[in-house]
A and B are shown apart, each in its own frame.
Chain A
Amino acid sequence: MTMTSSRPTTTASSAPPAPAHRPLPGLWRTSLARSVSELRVFFRNPQSVVFTLALPVILLMIFGSIFSGKIEGTDTDFKQYFVAGIVAAGIMSTAFTGLAINVALEREMGLIRRLAGSPMPKASYFVGKVVLVLVTSLLEALILIALGTALFGLDLPSDADHWIAFGWIFVLGTAACALSGLAYTALIPSANSAAAIVTPPFLVLQFISGVFFPFNQLPEWMQTTAGIFPLKWMTQGLRYVFLPDGFSAVEPGGVWNLPLIAMALGFWVLLAGFLTAITFKWRGPKVR
Chain B
Amino acid sequence: MTTITDHLPIDVQGLRKTYGDFAAVDHLDLQVRPGEVFALLGPNGAGKTTTVDMLCGVQRRTGGTVSVLGEDPHHDSRQWRNRLGVVPQNTGDYLNLTVREVVEMFATFYSDPIPTDELISMVGLTAKAGAKTNALSGGQKRRLDVAVGVVGKPELIFLDAPPTGLDPQARREAWDLVDYFRELGATTVLTTHYLDEAETLADRAGVIAAGRMLAIGTIDELGRTAGYSANVTVTDLEGVAGVIPSDLGVLEPDARADRRGGVLIGTDQPTAVVERLTRLAREQGFGEIPGLTVSRPTLEDTYLRLIQREDAQR
Contacts and interface: CB of A to CB of B under 8 A. Distances in A.
Nearest to B196: A1
B79 interface: yes
A30 B91 CA distance: 23
A29 interface: yes
Interface stretch (B166-174, B206-214, B291-299): B291-299
A36 B36 CA distance: 38
Contact of B82 (A10, A15, A24, A109): A24
A284 B59 contact: yes
Interface residues of A, number: 45
Given A25-B109, A114-B106, A20 B185 contact: no
Contact of A22 (B2, B111, B196, B297): B111
A17 B78 contact: no
B56 interface: yes
A65 to B, nearest CB: 35
Given A9-B33, A10-B34, A109-B92, A23 B2 contact: no
B78 A119 contact: yes
Interface string B141-183: 0000000110011010000000000000000000000000000
SS class, residues of chain B in contact with chain A: loop
Contact of A23 (B59, B91, B106, B111): B111
B111 A6 contact: no
A12 B3 contact: yes
B152 A118 contact: yes
B218 interface: yes
A6 B101 contact: no
Contacts of B298: 1-3
Interface in A8-41: 8-12, 14-17, 19-20, 22-25, 29-30, 33-34, 36-37, 40-41
A114 B92 contact: yes
B105 A117 contact: no
B13 interface: no
Interface of B: 2-4, 6-7, 33-37, 56-59, 78-79, 81-84, 86, 88, 90-97, 101, 104-106, 108-112, 148-149, 152-153, 155, 184-186, 196, 199, 202-204, 218-220, 223, 293, 295-300
Interface of A: 1-3, 6-12, 14-17, 19-20, 22-25, 29-30, 33-34, 36-37, 40-41, 44-45, 109-111, 113-114, 116-121, 283-285, 288
28 contacts: A1-B196, A3-B199, A3-B295, A3-B296, A6-B199, A6-B220, A7-B219, A10-B33, A15-B185, A16-B35, A16-B185, A17-B153, A20-B112, A23-B111, A24-B78, A29-B108, A30-B108, A34-B105, A40-B97, A41-B95, A109-B92, A109-B93, A110-B90, A110-B92, A110-B93, A116-B58, A118-B110, A119-B78
Given A1-B300, A117-B84, A283-B59, 18 more contacts: A3-B219, A6-B219, A10-B33, A12-B33, A17-B153, A19-B83, A20-B82, A20-B111, A109-B92, A110-B92, A111-B93, A111-B94, A113-B88, A113-B92, A114-B88, A117-B58, A117-B86, A118-B109
Q: Give the top 5 A-B pairs by smallest Cβ distance, nearest first.
A: A110-B92, A14-B35, A119-B81, A109-B93, A33-B108
